[in-house]
Amino acid sequence: MRKEYSFKKGVRGRFYRPNKLQKTIRLDPDVLNFYVELAKTEGIPYQTLIGLTLRKFAQDGGVLTIASRGVKTPLPSKKRKPGAA
């Protein structure tokens, strides 16, 4: 082992990957086929495409309109603990 190492050519964050959770969800075959085909067209994995879709939905406020009921259902807001900043 060397006493000192040079990191002059090092790249910050090169091996960093954000944490992902593995969770099983059930999708209708037509929905899955839609994402698989769209992912092929875009050249990205279909799981990534589904994740991007869900992220966009959540960032846009997460309001879901159910056509048969005409009801808008917002995502529940995160409740803050008393005294938390």
Answer left, alpha or beta for residue 17, where phi above 0 means left and psi between -120 and 50 means alpha: beta
pLDDT, tens digit, for every residue of 21-33? Answer: 889 999 999 999 9
pLDDT at 69: 62
Other Cβ atoms within 10 Å of 66 Cβ, number: 9
For the chain, domain boundaries: 29-71
pLDDT at 83 over 70: no
pLDDT, tens digit, for every residue of 37-61? Answer: 999 999 999 999 999 999 999 998 8
pLDDT at 84 over 60: no
